[in-house]
Amino acid sequence: MTGTPLTLYNSLTRTLEPFAPIDPHVVRIYTCGPTVYNYQHIGNMRAFLFADTLGRVIRWKGWPTKHVINITDVGHLTSDADAGDDKMEKAAAAQAKSIWDIAAHYTAAFKDDVARLNIEPPAEWTVATDHINEMIAFAQKIERDCYLIDGGLYFDTSKVPHYGALARATTDQGESRIDPVSSKRNAADFAIWRRSPPGEQRQMEWDSPWGKGAPGWHLECSVMSLKHLGHPFDIHTGGIDHREIHHPNEIAQNQAFCSCEDTGARIWMHNNFLVDRGGKMSKSTGEFLRLQTLVDAGFHPLAYRLMCLQAHYRSELEFTWDNLAAALTRLKRLVIALDALRGRDDGTLKGDAELYLARLEEAVADDLNTPRALTVLDELIADKKLSPTVRIGAIADFDAVLGLRLAELTRAEMRLRPGSATIDEGTIDVRIAERKQARIDKDFAASDAIRDSLAAAGVEVMDGDALGWDWKLGAS
Ligand code: AMP
Ligand code: ZN
């Protein structure tokens, strides 16, 4: 697809930049993946939805992509300041399980959520612990910019010319930015290799030239992006928290490795946070919402995808149940409208949807403006000057970018059973049919009794629902 050139916001320059692939045959994208010591919360999933939308837009523009997402199963400490415990070790101790079991469990749960949100799986899932040898080799190559202290091998951030440029921080600001680990040369210096404390045996530790231990968290992304994509690749993504520490440190490692000023990626992109009333949603604070929590409350996972698409990825997005309910209603309307179009489809090609496709392109080319693309989609669906066939064809183009599975999503699928529901859909449908008959027979006592018994089972009968739904499951 030609037309409006794609512009993307580059966190490095803090400006919108025209996008031109390094190699038009394959656009290479790296996304910092989950640390698998716990379930991903819906805020984390926003980061992957954003990266997915980016990939979809690039492919829709006609460039194939190679997307890599890593799985962090070692090295991420409870504090970004290289202090505290390894998140994985801590979770394993708390649940009395091996780290490997913990990692396998949460990785599988994450991949389930990826599928349920219709996120295209990456070309490769790369796992940190599969790359220990490469990490050691990389660390040896940048060792001249590092120094050894009791805690392990540390990177000297004063050795790279513009350390922290991505965060718009200087090494001086770093003094207050990052808690010092005693004997670090500069506060912003970070661990490349963390030595196991003497006399302490860790579940995950490897021999290295700097003693038994484990890699620092930032190392894996430099190593895996280099190995699986090559430097420089096109786009590196992550949540906006990564713009402050993790990505500046990755860049410093990459620059030390190539002895050049190349950051490793042309464009660095960051999604803003999903927040709730308590602030940024975070795994480490314990209580958080998972995709499964939403499903258990009766929401289709794609309602959450639509909720995210309704906001620009660089804006903070507040999660409320009302917002989610509104997104579910919008999704239902889309599904109903498409059903209706299919019902009237007689194969005639009347009218031309080019204008809508051009507006879709304009919207997504403007730094992935999905809220605008959704508005254009609403207009397209309602445009009676176009025959159903023409509209259905153009909607498929919109959905290639939006990923809402509009072509196959059914009304029945929209009705999810909360985890707490004690009644199955077949029984509900029978009871609803009996109630309808009772009303036809003007036996209101019987119809009320059926409504009340359904309510007791957590099912709300929806008389006169504007969208034509008979019932819904309440989050009882
Ligand atoms: P983690 O598993 O903690 O490494 O995080 C996985 C991804 O989620 C990273 O890209 C984070 O930057 C991102 N992230 C974490 N919290 C949020 C949030 N509340 N909203 C959006 N993205 C987030
Ligand atoms: Zn990373």
Range with the poorest average pLDDT among 162-166, 246-250, 393-397:
162-166
pLDDT at 7: 98
Within 6 A (CB) of ligand 1 lie: 32, 34-35, 43-44, 46-47, 238-239, 241-242, 271, 273-274, 280-281, 283
Stretch(es) of the chain classified as CATH 3.40.50.620: 7-285
Give the pLDDT mean for 392-419.
Answer: 89
Residue 414 in tokens:
């929209």
Question: What is the whole-number distance in angstroms between the Cα of residue 120 and the centre of ligand 2?
Answer: 19
User: Is residue 271 within 8 Å of residue 42, measured between CB atoms?
Assistant: no
pLDDT for 213-231, tens place per residue? 999 989 999 999 999 999 9
pLDDT greater than 70 at residue 172: no
User: Is residue 348 within 8 Å of residue 369, measured between CB atoms?
Assistant: no
Question: What is the whole-number distance in angstroms between the Cα of residue 31 and the centre of ligand 2?
Answer: 7
Higher pLDDT, 467 or 157: 157
Question: At 476, is the pLDDT very low, low, confident or very high (cuts 50, 70, 90)?
Answer: very low
Higher pLDDT, 37 or 355: 355
pLDDT greater than 80 at residue 2: no
pLDDT for 16-34, tens place per residue? 999 999 999 999 999 999 9
Question: What is the whole-number distance in angstroms between the Cα of residue 29 and the centre of ligand 1?
Answer: 17
Which ligand is nearest the CA of 246, by number? 2
Cα–Cα distance measured from residue 29 to residue 51, given in angstroms and rounded to the nearest whole number: 9
Question: What is the whole-number distance in angstroms between the Cα of residue 1 and the centre of ligand 2?
Answer: 31
Stretch(es) of the chain classified as CATH 1.20.120.640: 301-412
pLDDT greater than 90 at residue 341: yes
Range with the poorest average pLDDT among 226-235, 325-334, 467-476:
467-476
Cα–Cα distance measured from residue 187 to residue 336, given in angstroms and rounded to the nearest whole number: 57
pLDDT at 177: 46
Which ligand is nearest the CA of 48, by number? 1
Instruction: Find the helix or strand (DSSP H, E) in which 398 lies.
Output: helix 388-402
Give the pLDDT mean for 193-202.
Answer: 86
Q: Roughly how many angstroms between the first and final C-alpha of the chain, as a whole number?
A: 48
DSSP 349: -
User: Is residue 55 within 8 Å of residue 62, measured between CB atoms?
Assistant: no
**DSSP-derived 3-state class of residue 366:** strand
Question: At 195, is the pLDDT very low, low, confident or very high (cuts 50, 70, 90)?
Answer: very high
pLDDT for 41-96, tens place per residue? 999 999 999 999 999 999 999 999 999 999 998 766 665 555 566 777 788 778 88
Give the pLDDT mean for 156-166.
Answer: 92
DSSP 469: -
Between the CA atoms of 291, 294, 299 and 304, what dihedral angle is there, to the nearest 10 degrees?
A: -50
User: Is residue 212 within 8 Å of residue 195, measured between CB atoms?
Assistant: yes
pLDDT at 454: 86
Question: At 174, is the pLDDT very low, low, confident or very high (cuts 50, 70, 90)?
Answer: very low
Range with the poorest average pLDDT among 8-22, 126-140, 180-194, 297-311:
180-194
Residue 33, CA atoms < 13 Å, CB-side half-sphere? 29
Helices 217-228/132-141 angle, 10° precision: 100
Neighbours of 348 (CB within 10 A): 10
pLDDT greater than 50 at residue 173: no
Neighbours of 200 (CB within 10 A): 8
Residue where the block lists tokens 């959520």: 113
Q: Which atom of ligand 1 is nearest to the CA of 275?
A: 19
pLDDT at 315: 98
* φ and ψ at residue 376, rounded to 5 degrees: -65, -40
106: left (phi over 0), alpha (psi -120 to 50) or beta: alpha
Higher pLDDT, 177 or 27: 27
Instruction: Say which CATH class 301-412 falls into.
Output: mainly alpha
Give me the architecture of the 7-285 domain, per CATH.
3-Layer(aba) Sandwich (3.40)
* φ and ψ at residue 16, rounded to 5 degrees: -80, 130
Protein residues placing their CB within 5 Å of the ion ligand 2: 32, 221
Question: At 171, is the pLDDT very low, low, confident or very high (cuts 50, 70, 90)?
Answer: very low
Pocket test for ligand 1, best of 29, 42, 44 (most atoms within 8 A of CB): 44
For strands 459-461 and 471-473, give the pairing. antiparallel
For strands 27-31 and 65-71, give the pairing. parallel
pLDDT for 431-465, tens place per residue? 999 999 999 999 999 999 999 998 888 788 888 77
Question: What is the whole-number distance in angstroms between the Cα of residue 237 and the centre of ligand 1?
Answer: 11
From the list 264, 265, 267, 250, the residue with the least C-alpha distance to 157 is 250
**DSSP-derived 3-state class of residue 442:** coil
Looking at every residue in the chain, the average pLDDT score rounds to 90
pLDDT for 104-155, tens place per residue? 999 999 999 999 999 999 988 999 999 999 999 999 999 999 999 999 999 9
DSSP bridge pairs for 219: none
